[in-house]
Amino acid sequence: MNSIRRYLEFVKPYRWQIFATIIIGIIKFSIPLLLPMLIKYVVDDVLGNHGLTNSEKVNKLFLIMGLMIIIFVILRPPIEYYRQYYAQWTSNKILYDLRGILYKHIQKLSFKYYANSRAGEIISRIINDVEQTKTFVVTGLMNIWLDMATIVIAIIVMFSMNVRLTIVSILLFPLYAFSIKYFFGNLRKLTRNRSQALAGVQSYLHERVQGMAIIKSFAIEEHEQALFDKQNKNFLEKAIQHTSWNAKSFSAVNTITDIAPLLVIGYSAYLVIHGQLTLGTMVAFYAYIDKLYNPLRRLVNSSTTITQSFASMDRVFELLDEKYDVVDAPNATECRDVKGNISFKNVSFAYKEEDGMVLEEINLDVKHGETIALVGMSGGGKSTFVSLIPRFYDVTKGKITLDGTDIRQFKIQSLRDKIGVVFQDNILFSESVKENILLGKPDASDEEVYRAAKAASADDFIHELAEGYDTKVGERGVKLSGGQKQRIAIARVFLKNPPILILDEATSALDLESEHLIQESLNELAKDRTTFIVAHRLSTITHADRIVLIDHGQIAEVGTHDELMAKQGGYYKLFQVQQLETTKAEAK
């Protein structure tokens, strides 16, 4: 019930539209209720009225049919149109709002959440589950009330014609209500299991479609087919369990709703035989039974679909309830006038405390304009180190200050706005080259975009593309080489022009020629900015003001290239190994 209450908060802004839709719907559903009355009138007052001549009967028939044509042909179509239009408009607006809130929410979730979650699962909740909740609006908040109103109006009219026959007509209502409660009590759990299994299939497909090159390169299509069949079979089993229970409920409830007309036909015929009921009333009553039990059958369908929407609501709000690992402090301020003095003071960090510290007791003071290179063996904590500066993660112990202020005292967005990051594996979106560069500064002019691309040595290859800057790069930039993608990512940072730079293996995907070109551009960009460079090839960071060797999460050595080489410690050994590898490669 908590999910329903929370969902109603999204419905609340549209309550008047829903109310208007229900009123229009009641009018629309009331009009067909005239048909049984029409049948009774035609049978008893026209055809069965022996006091009228044939001419008078025809006149009465034409008069009543003319009135019905006006109601059904002229009045009913616009009523039907506006009921459908406002029902769909309102439900789609609610879904629009909900998806907007969800997208805003997932953008605030930390890297830690995405490291532990499957993209397909998240997408399934935002697309499939949100769409499923539409049923609650259209059916649960609109159609159910319309069906109930139809039932009430039909019962009132039936009571006005014959009380005893009406009681017989609704005799099975309690049994119907018990069946609904019994059968649909377990349906929510089964529906949730089915939705979870479907999300599993979608997540698996999402990962495999993205990694199709791996599947083909290792020729493991049959193995992958077997794994997919396992996921698909799990969904099939959950779907069949859901379908089986659903079928049982429909079988029982429809049996009950089919018995009622038989009771009415038998009893009303008995009354007609004994002269206690007119033939027209009997025919009208049978027609009203259809108007009475058709809405009941729809209510059974509604119970199923609404139960499915409840399960989807649970999954949607489960996602919305994911806590933010990194949040603004209550008194957080805007990050302005950044100079770039950054200090790590007794900083320790663990992704999970039970897994142990990734970084431990880090102390480092970085002055404005300094270039700091972070080196060391893979897995030593270099990328984690720089991820703490823009608060992709928060420190476990200690603090990081920017110009003397703890970075946790700044609003996250304003802090990140002052930092430019180039990752080792940069993601490009499927839009054009220009739109990908504009991510660095969405309101930049075309001229600014071109300057940034030239600074990143990307302008030449962009002009060689089929549509230049308007070329679509494909999902994750699949149409570009690794080096081309990296240069576009670097162009984004040039466009952003931030006071603090973080280059996490920024040139790792480039060939030596491209790396040389971009290295010069990066050196120019780094002037008068605080720059952190995570590097694997040590030859690219010998110019750094200071080099920090990180070993097993701790700072092992700090100094210039010359100082560390003279020291002949860990950095010296790494550099010697790389030089030896380079010499061997060149000899080949």
Q: What are 383-440's pLDDT values in tens digits?
A: 889 989 999 888 889 999 999 899 999 998 889 888 888 877 777 887 888 888 888 8
* Distance from C-alpha of 492 to C-alpha of 522, rounded to nearest angstrom: 12
* Distance from C-alpha of 397 to C-alpha of 346, rounded to nearest angstrom: 7
For residue 377, the 8-state DSSP code is S
- Tell whether the model's pLDDT for residue 62 goes beyond 60: yes
Query: Among 140, 121, 130, 119, which residue's Cα sits nearest to residue 96?
Result: 130
Range ranked top by mean pLDDT from 132-141, 177-186, 231-240: 231-240
Please state the rounded mean pLDDT for residues 231-241.
Answer: 86
Higher pLDDT, 111 or 438: 438
- Tell whether the model's pLDDT for residue 35 goes beyond 70: yes
* Distance from C-alpha of 491 to C-alpha of 484, rounded to nearest angstrom: 11
Beta-bridge partner residues of 348? 397
- Tell whether the model's pLDDT for residue 181 goes beyond 60: yes
Q: What are 567-583's pLDDT values in tens digits?
A: 888 888 888 877 765 55
* Distance from C-alpha of 283 to C-alpha of 39, rounded to nearest angstrom: 7
Identify the pLDDT of residue 365: 93
Measured between alpha carbons, how far is residue 333 from residues 183, 311, 330, 407 in Å? 55, 40, 9, 10
Burial of 73 (0-12, 13-18, 19+ CB in 10 A): exposed
- Tell whether the model's pLDDT for residue 363 goes beyond 90: yes
E-only strand ranges, 392-494: 397-402, 405-406, 419-422
pTM reported for the whole predicted model: 0.73
Q: Are 144 and 302 in contact (CB under 8 A)?
A: yes
Please state the rounded mean pLDDT for residues 378-386.
Answer: 84
Q: Output the CA angle 373-427-446, nearest 5 degrees.
A: 95
Higher pLDDT, 302 or 92: 92
Q: How many helices (H) and strands (E) does the chain have?
A: 25, 10
Identify the pLDDT of residue 57: 76
Percent of the chain with pLDDT over 70: 93
Indicate the pLDDT class of residue 508, thresholds 50, 70 and 90: low
Query: Among 494, 425, 437, which residue's Cα sits nearest to residue 469?
Result: 437
Residue keyed to tokens 């690219």: 540
What are phi and psi for residue 339, nearest 5 degrees? -95, -40
Lowest mean pLDDT among 48-62, 155-169, 415-429: 48-62
Identify the pLDDT of residue 473: 80
